[in-house]
Structure 1
Amino acid sequence: MDFDTVADELYALPPAEFTAARDTAAGLARKQGDRELAARVRKLRRPTGGAWLANLLVRSHPEEIGPLLELGRALRAAQSDHAGARLRELSSRRHHLVTALTARARRTATEAGHSPGEPALRELEQTLRSVLADGDAAESFAAGHLATALDATAPLPEPVPALEPTPAPAVPEPEPAAATEPRRTAPRAAQAAVRTAEREAAQAADALELRTAEHRSAAARVRRSARRLADAEQAHREAERAEAECATALAAAERRAAQTRAEADRLRRRT
């Protein structure tokens, strides 16, 4: 029995069956003398409806998970490179894939005798969007051990136009001989200037959105790393306690053995 095998088996179960199976597995590990494994198993949390759907999708349709992970990598690379045209191309596939995978998970759960509600389906969609937006989220999703929906604080990359300054369009010089030409040219020049200002404002807004997405993605990674560190520290403390308990038990056993040997020696001397 090892932790990954136990986790695989537990997170393949429907949420209603999870807690009893987890406690049974932890008890078995403890009976076998593996206190560290028992403690780790006991800490596993029952999955929410959306997390269970995500785990079900990973296990039941691995061939459809690969394209999702590949699309996420491509979107993040295009975002990092500020490749606006590439982002627009990939974004056209994004909504379709999330919708298709959500529908696939609903059908698979229904075929297994479970009817997922709208909250669980929304959790699944949030998780799939997080997978596309963040590499750490994608790794957690692919393991198939989710207990909660993934944090979607990192927005999905959006198509960003190239941030090149747009030159103002040339304004035609009025013809001196035409008295009405200046009056016609002035409105056209003003309209062109407005369009240029609007384009530049849109580019600035897209650039701000990109930087905000990068910041939120980094913050989400920091939070996940902090949680993993806290879990590792807790596991280390539990291992130390288990080691101390084993050392105490060993010392007691050695004392009993010494006492038994001494008693046996006394009995031999009497005879």
Structure 2
Amino acid sequence: MTDTALSTIAATLYAELPCNFISARDARVKAADGGELAAQIKALRKPSVAAWVVNLFAQERTAQLAEALRLAEELRKAQADLDAATLAKLGRERRTLTRRLAQNAVELATSRGERISASTLDAVERTISAAFFDPDAAAAVASGRLVRELDPSESVDLGAAVGGGTPEAPAPPAVPADEVSARRERRAAQRALRDAEQARERAEHTQMQAEKAHRDAAARMQSLEARVVELEAELAQTRTEAERARTAAAATAESEASAVGHLAEAERVESAAKDALDALIRAQSS
């Protein structure tokens, strides 16, 4: 909890033009007439120009800033349920909103007679962006008591970033119960749709795999059937050639048997002729 008197005075001082801060703070110290409150006011540090721009916007455009921070809080809570495409889309929308809020804040500061440089505008945008990512940064921005600009990539030290005491988290604008219910139902329906889309994608993938497997099996079946036809033709041709060889073998067997008979007869005739010759020679010799 912050001290109400100190935080109220700090908020007023941090909305002053930067060039008037010191004199306005000293006047508040003098009005406090000593004591702890005076010392606390005296300890308030002068804000940077970028911090002052954000403070001015937070105090004079409270509703606009609070609505933006509430949407940022809802997005942080919903991130776990969102797909990459939706998150990318929301991220682009958030960056656009951040730039618009920063530009509006700078225009408000310019209307107070302050010249705002491009580097200050950039610091304002980074500070508002930090509030979209970090609840502590959101509390610091909503307090209207920033002492320095914030950075989305750094953690927030509320004691160093805010003057006049640690701020409480900004209270979100009241949302009608029926709107809350509608949002819940819408988120549930979106989740159901995403689940259904993912299930369809998985089914499509399974179907494509099954179709490919069927095509591959059909192609292999056709190839094997064609090979069967080729092998059957080769088998028929081989059987025909085997039958011809069998017939030829039978014919040659008969020829061989006849040749064997002729050879035996020739050997018999030859032996008889030899015996006759031997007998003739013996007769002539006696």
State the TM-score, normalizing by the size of structure 1.
Answer: 0.54
Corresponding residue for residue 189 of structure 2: none
Corresponding residue for residue 14 of structure 1: 17
Q: Does residue 56 of structure 1 match 2:56? A: yes
Work out the CA distance in 1 between the residues paired with 2:121 and 2:14: 18
Q: Deviations over 1:211-260 (max 9, x none)?
A: xxxxxxxxxxxxxxxxxxxxxxxxxxxxxxxxxxxxxxxxxxxxxxxxxx
Work out the CA distance in 2 between the residues paired with 1:17 and 1:143: 20
Corresponding residue for residue 82 of structure 2: 83
| 2:209 aligned counterpart, secondary structure | coil
Q: CA deviation at 1:82?
A: 4.2
Q: Work out the number of aligned pairs and report it.
A: 169
Q: Does residue 4 of structure 1 match 2:11? A: no
Q: CA deviation at 1:86?
A: 5.5
- Asked if the contact 1:11/1:18 (under 8 Å) is kept, the reply is yes
Work out the CA distance in 1 between the residues paired with 2:82 and 2:70: 17
Structure 1 gaps, min length 5: 156-160, 179-271
Larger radius of gyration: 2
Corresponding residue for residue 70 of structure 1: 70
| 1:147 aligned counterpart, secondary structure | coil
Corresponding residue for residue 132 of structure 1: 132
Amino acid in the other structure paired with 1:68: A
Q: Deviations over 1:47-96 (max 9, x none)?
A: 111111101111222231122111211121013x3432663453342122
State the percentage of identical aligned residues: 31
Work out the CA distance in 1 between the residues paired with 2:18 and 2:43: 15
Corresponding residue for residue 209 of structure 2: 170
Q: CA deviation at 1:148?
A: 0.5
Amino acid in the other structure paired with 2:209: A
Corresponding residue for residue 238 of structure 1: none
Corresponding residue for residue 46 of structure 1: 46
Work out the CA distance in 2 between the residues paired with 1:6 and 1:109: 20
- Asked if the contact 1:78/1:86 (under 8 Å) is kept, the reply is no
- Asked if the contact 1:71/1:90 (under 8 Å) is kept, the reply is no
Structure 2 gaps, min length 5: 156-193, 224-286
Corresponding residue for residue 145 of structure 2: 145
Q: CA deviation at 1:149?
A: 0.9
- Asked if the contact 2:66/2:142 (under 8 Å) is kept, the reply is no
| 1:2 aligned counterpart, secondary structure | helix
Report the structure, 1 or 2, having the larger helix content: 2
| 2:54 aligned counterpart, secondary structure | helix
Q: Equivalent residues in 2 for 1:1-271 (5 A)?
A: 2-29=5-32, 31=33, 33=34, 35-79=35-79, 81-84=80-83, 87-88=87-88, 90-153=90-153, 170=209, 172-173=212-213, 174=216, 175-176=219-220, 177=222
Amino acid in the other structure paired with 2:48: T
Work out the CA distance in 2 between the residues paired with 1:144 and 1:65: 11
- Asked if the contact 1:12/1:56 (under 8 Å) is kept, the reply is yes
